[in-house]
Structure 1
Amino acid sequence: MSTSITLVSHQLCPYVQRAAIALTEKQVPFERLYVDLGNKPDWFKALSPLGKVPVLKVDNDGSQAPLFESAVILEYLEETQGEPLHPDDPLERAAHRGWIAFGSTILNDIGRLYSVPQATMFNDVITLLRDRFQRLETELGEGPYFDGERFSLVDAVFGPVFRYFDVFDPIHPLGIFTHTPKVVAWRAALAERPSIRTAVTEHYETLLQEFLKARGSYLSLLMQ
């Protein structure tokens, strides 16, 4: 049976990056199809009931099965492809799913950081993010990855999280990682991982900067 996989993407979406990282780590050939979320075509609306990316188009000998929501896509890849990225032990696997959800919460916090209009609100989100990463600091071991030597789906989730700060750091000193040396080392290890580096296009940072400037937020003002 012949199977082809297409990852319907947006260039800035961290949830798309998760899927791309997992596919690359599992050595699964795939194509990327980019969509303009500001002008969604009808074919995309038909594939994605929520109007969001990623969508994974799985074509089995002409029979298509589009999957939406990154968590669903990651679990499907775990069930159907080699190179497992979840732990074998059910309890550890469940714990990793919890930390994946924690990573999604941090992404929501980051969305607030680049959207809030006032300095006070901005600083409140920085404090919240500092607390989030301090909690992660207590969870990390010797590294280099979340679960030690083995790269996992938790790493696939946090690679895109840390990528935001590569753009934020030159704009304004946030001080979020000042007291988290293990998190800093983890961030550095993920930045060197080929699957994470290739999960975005070469224009990612420029596109993100343009997106942030157009938000009309407090962070946008800091970029002027």
Structure 2
Amino acid sequence: MSSPIPTLFLYDHPASSYAQKARMALRLKHLPFTKETPANLGLGEPNSSFEAANPRMEVPALIINDGDAEFKIFDSSVIVQYLEDAFPDAPSLLPKDPKERAVARMIEEVCDTAYEAINWALGEVFWFGRAEGAEAERIQAAAGDQTKQIHEYLTPLLGTKPFFNGTTPGLADICLAPVFHRSVLRGLGPAKDSPLDAWHSRMEGVPAIAETWREMEGGVQGMSNAGPGLWAPHSGRRREYRDHRLEFLMKNGAAWIVNKGLEDDNVRFGRWPAVNK
């Protein structure tokens, strides 16, 4: 007899690409869970329960309660790996062949770093108004060019398979799905009827993926409606710049956005427990 499934609770944000990956994994593996967006996410303020789950105060963070104790995990990749290890009877998200598993993990690396950073920068410019006019157009052009390069890298890895994982979506698919769908919504999707366009359509037909995308679209709309004023100078809200996000801005001549954000006190960097806390 299999052990009962523990209670799974996810600290989440609907628009986070990393949180989307975790939600897709849970849903594809048919694991029931509850979720919540931490209060004041983006303020960098102490939040005891969220901070206990992830000292970085980033989503996603997963809390597993088996009735005797809680086990806390942060980082989307670690969460997915845990789900694979802890629930072997649930549908696997990894192919059996070691080489194909390596390809899936390389796709995860590309999506979690280079691709996510492109979408992040576009959000900084067009949701939160950190650049305007010709400067915004230049950043958008760089994002479009680099998105195209990533699509060219991914296309032969998909080949003629329905999904990167084979006949059903798996790790590579759920890592690509959040950032790719955001590109489509921004008009940076692949050519119509291309292999990646057909993959996107097939993913839309998977209930676990479609549900997560609808949540993301609602979250994005809410952030868009809030406008740049949500991150006004010295408002207390600070958008987090991780290493790959900084790299995109630096290599595309937009370091001044970071410097201006530091002056305005509305950007922050990866957090670890404060010294002398």
Among 23, 26, 29, the alignment partner of 1:23 is 26
Partners of 1:180 and 1:146 in 2: how far apart? Answer: 17
Is residue 82 of structure 2 the alignment partner of residue 76 of structure 1? Answer: yes
The unaligned stretches of length 5 or more in structure 1 are: 217-224
Alignment of 1:68-217 (within 5 A): 68-81=74-87, 82-104=90-112, 105-116=114-125, 117=131, 118=135, 119-169=137-187, 174=188, 176-178=189-191, 181-199=194-212, 200-201=214-215, 203-210=218-225
Among 24, 43, 54, the alignment partner of 2:49 is 43
Partners of 2:21 and 2:173 in 1: how far apart? Answer: 9
Equivalent residues of 2:165, 2:171 under 8 A apart: no
- Give the SS at the match of 2:7: strand
- Pick closer, same or farther for the CA change 1:193–1:74 going to 2, 3 Å: same
- Give per-residue Cα distances to partners, 1:22-72, cap 9 Å, x unaligned: 111111111112213134523212221111010000002130011000000
Deviation at 1:213, TM superposition (A): 5.6
- Pick closer, same or farther for the CA change 1:31–1:12 going to 2, 3 Å: same
Deviation at 1:136, TM superposition (A): 1.1
- Give the SS at the match of 2:73: strand
- Give the SS at the match of 1:144: coil
- Give the SS at the match of 2:124: coil
The two structures, once aligned, show a CA RMSD in angstroms of 2.3
- Pick closer, same or farther for the CA change 1:166–1:205 going to 2, 3 Å: farther
The unaligned stretches of length 5 or more in structure 2 are: 126-130, 233-277
Equivalent residues of 2:107, 2:176 under 8 A apart: no
Partners of 1:212 and 1:74 in 2: how far apart? Answer: 33
Equivalent residues of 2:22, 2:79 under 8 A apart: yes
Match of 1:221 in 2: none
Equivalent residues of 1:4, 1:30 under 8 A apart: yes
**Kindly, what percent of the aligned residue pairs are identical?**
25
Partners of 1:195 and 1:49 in 2: how far apart? Answer: 29
- Give per-residue Cα distances to partners, 1:158-205, cap 9 Å, x unaligned: 221122134313xxxx4x523881111111111221111122537234
Superposition TM-score, scaled by structure 2 size:
0.69
Match of 2:65 in 1: 59
- Pick closer, same or farther for the CA change 1:211–1:164 going to 2, 3 Å: farther
Partners of 2:194 and 2:207 in 1: how far apart? Answer: 23
Greater gyration radius: 2
Superposition TM-score, scaled by structure 1 size:
0.84
Equivalent residues of 1:96, 1:154 under 8 A apart: yes
- Pick closer, same or farther for the CA change 1:110–1:34 going to 2, 3 Å: same
Aligned residues: 211
Partners of 2:77 and 2:226 in 1: how far apart? Answer: 25
